[in-house]
Structure 1
């Protein structure tokens, strides 16, 4: 039997892994449970993804050029999406996952990957290979597939990780509604993504309003400690935005989970994890699409070198390369989330910080190019001084939250 890779999950991470493997002539099978229901997601993608993965920009619903941050007291920071050297490619791309994922999945099939509509039920990893059992979604029958290696790209609740014996990761919960607005109401949002901070909207993350093709996506995210409040938090957001949603029509309500920390290891004997299954979602923003694609690509590239000896020791070159390249960014964003979203006074400080032109420039340099943008010593000192002044101001004379005004 030729060398074969089974990828569980055919969303962005799994599809990108399959495209990469097929580009190297490796036999690849994609196993996906849900081919028709759209994957719930905020849907923000950096321009880098379209360049690096050769994706047509026709898949973009909206190009966001302004990010607006609203604090618990209602103060706003309007942040232009522009780096140090502005270009026509400075934007946040908004996509619908049913369109974006479908394109990548179809590309994988065009490159020769086999797509199976089924649900993973069992997984055995042995010295000679991997044996997976799945339930066919077409006839309900249990089937078996044999492979040399398995890649888990099956989301925050990853059956692959569970069947490998890994503990579940702590997860944030997000609920989002898609609301079709009249054209005149939609104009306000057409190039602007808005982030809302505050305990009544999200005690530890944020809520949002993102423009899409023909609708506005509004949603909330919150960590494990507040997940039972998620529906009420969404209702609070809808009440806050009620005047701007007048005349709107609900298209869809959807919920999803985001892992709050990475797995200790990303690779094992004859097995690898990518994207949400590996816990590779960045803190502060909750961004996951680009990282799923990038991890799928890197895992496939490493695997291609070790298909003859897919041991944990060899495949963990994927772990090492990933954290060498992106570890600093993940650590920084994890700390920024704890600092900026810790309480409502910190949320006010965070909002004021985002008004700083140097912070804005460095933020989008890092976001659009996926590297930690360096800041000169003088710039670092000025930003630190501004933040310290904001800390003192907001703790000595705290602002009044909107709900108490």
Structure 2
């Protein structure tokens, strides 16, 4: 049998892994159960992805150049999307997953990857290879295929991980609605994305309004312990947006889950996990698209050099390279999520902190270029001073949240 790789999941991570493997001349099969419905997602992609993966600008619905952050009490911070050195890459790309994923999947096929429309129902990893059982989505029949290695790129619920005997990861839920607005209303979000904080819209993450080509995506994220309230949180967000959604038409309501912790191990004998299946979603922002693509690329590159001996000892180079490059960023963003979203007073502090120009530039440097850039000592002192002052203001005298202001007004 010719050496080949089975990739379970043909979304951004799986498709990128397939493209990378085919560029290296390795026979590749993609198994995907859903080829019609788009994966629910906010759809924010950094400019780095378009350069690193040679993606056309035509995939971008809108380029966001301003972010509006609204605290629980209603204080607003307007943040320009700009790094330390102004460039043409000072934007956040907004994409629709049905367009973005479809492009990558088609590119993988053009490079020679085989695409099977089926659902994984069984997986055996043995010393000599991998045997997968799948159910055809067209006629329901079961079939088997063999490969040298399997890559699980099948999301937060990952059947691949489950069949490898791995535990579930803690998960957050995200629910959003796509709402078509008249042009006069869409102008509000021409180049702006909104983030909303507060326990009535998201107790431990954030809520959003992201612009797309002809609509906005309005959604919320809720961590473990709050997922049962997701629908009510979304309704609260829409109420908070109020007249901005007048005359809007619901196009689609969608929900998905996000892993909240990376897996301690992402590579095994003849098996690897990437993207959401590996828990590679960053805290604070919940960003996953770039990380799925990058993990797929790195895993494929490591695998290409280890196909003759695809055991854990060789394949775990993938996770070693990953954490060497991105470990500091993941650790910092995990801490920032707990610190900034821990309670409503901290959310007020977080909103104020984002007014600091040094915070803004360092944030977008790391977002756009995926590198943790240490700030000059003077900038660090300014940031520290502003944070101390914001902590004092918000803990000495608590701000009144919007919902309580409205209650007092009625009384």
Residues 3-27 of structure 1: per-residue CA shift (max 9 Å, x gap) = 0100000000000000000000000
Q: What is the SS of the residue equivalent to 2:176?
A: strand
Task: Report the Cα distance in structure 2 between the residues aligned to 1:127 and 1:239, rounded to whole angstroms.
Answer: 57
* Alignment map for 1:288-327 (pairs within 5 Å): 288-327=288-327
The answer for unaligned runs of 5 or more in structure 1 is: none
Task: Report the Cα distance in structure 1 between the residues aligned to 2:212 and 2:12, rounded to whole angstroms.
Answer: 19
Task: Report the Cα distance in structure 1 between the residues aligned to 2:277 and 2:222, rounded to whole angstroms.
Answer: 19
Task: Name the counterpart of 1:354.
Answer: 354
Structure 1 outlier segments of 4+, above 4 Å = none
Q: CA deviation at 1:379?
A: 1.2
1:179 aligns with 2:189: no
Task: Name the counterpart of 2:226.
Answer: 226
Q: CA deviation at 1:257?
A: 0.3
Q: CA deviation at 1:109?
A: 0.1
Task: Report the Cα distance in structure 1 between the residues aligned to 2:248 and 2:72, rounded to whole angstroms.
Answer: 25
Q: What is the SS of the residue equivalent to 1:229?
A: helix
Task: Name the counterpart of 1:194.
Answer: 194
Residues 343-390 of structure 1: per-residue CA shift (max 9 Å, x gap) = 000000000000000000000011000000111112111211110111
Residues 88-145 of structure 1: per-residue CA shift (max 9 Å, x gap) = 2210000000000000000000000000000000000000000000000010000101
Task: Name the counterpart of 1:330.
Answer: 330
Tell me the TM-score normalized by structure 2. 0.98
Task: Report the Cα distance in structure 1 between the residues aligned to 2:147 and 2:35, rounded to whole angstroms.
Answer: 22
Task: Name the counterpart of 1:376.
Answer: 376
Task: Name the counterpart of 2:276.
Answer: 276
Which range moved further: 123-132 or 370-379? 370-379
Task: Report the Cα distance in structure 1 between the residues aligned to 2:146 and 2:371, rounded to whole angstroms.
Answer: 39
1:43 aligns with 2:46: no
Task: Name the counterpart of 1:8.
Answer: 8
The answer for unaligned runs of 5 or more in structure 2 is: 406-411
Q: What is the SS of the residue equivalent to 2:217?
A: strand
1:165 aligns with 2:165: yes
Task: Report the Cα distance in structure 1 between the residues aligned to 2:64 and 2:386, rounded to whole angstroms.
Answer: 27
Residues 325-357 of structure 1: per-residue CA shift (max 9 Å, x gap) = 000000000000000000000000000000000
Q: What is the SS of the residue equivalent to 1:93?
A: strand
Task: Report the Cα distance in structure 2 between the residues aligned to 1:271 and 1:304, rounded to whole angstroms.
Answer: 13
Task: Report the Cα distance in structure 2 between the residues aligned to 1:287 and 1:232, rounded to whole angstroms.
Answer: 23
Q: What is the SS of the residue equivalent to 1:247?
A: coil
Task: Name the counterpart of 2:409.
Answer: none
Task: Name the counterpart of 2:73.
Answer: 73
1:123 aligns with 2:113: no
Q: CA deviation at 1:178?
A: 0.1
Tell me the TM-score normalized by structure 1. 1.00
Residues 260-293 of structure 1: per-residue CA shift (max 9 Å, x gap) = 0001101000000000000000000000000000
Task: Report the Cα distance in structure 2 between the residues aligned to 1:242 and 1:79, rounded to whole angstroms.
Answer: 22
Task: Report the Cα distance in structure 2 between the residues aligned to 1:397 and 1:188, rounded to whole angstroms.
Answer: 33
Q: What is the SS of the residue equivalent to 1:69?
A: strand
Q: CA deviation at 1:224?
A: 1.0
Task: Report the Cα distance in structure 2 between the residues aligned to 1:156 and 1:336, rounded to whole angstroms.
Answer: 22
Task: Name the counterpart of 1:24.
Answer: 24
Task: Name the counterpart of 2:148.
Answer: 148
Task: Report the Cα distance in structure 1 between the residues aligned to 2:238 and 2:188, rounded to whole angstroms.
Answer: 16
Q: CA deviation at 1:242?
A: 2.4
Residues 62-104 of structure 1: per-residue CA shift (max 9 Å, x gap) = 0000011000000011000000111122100000000000000
Task: Name the counterpart of 1:108.
Answer: 108
Q: What is the SS of the residue equivalent to 1:287?
A: coil
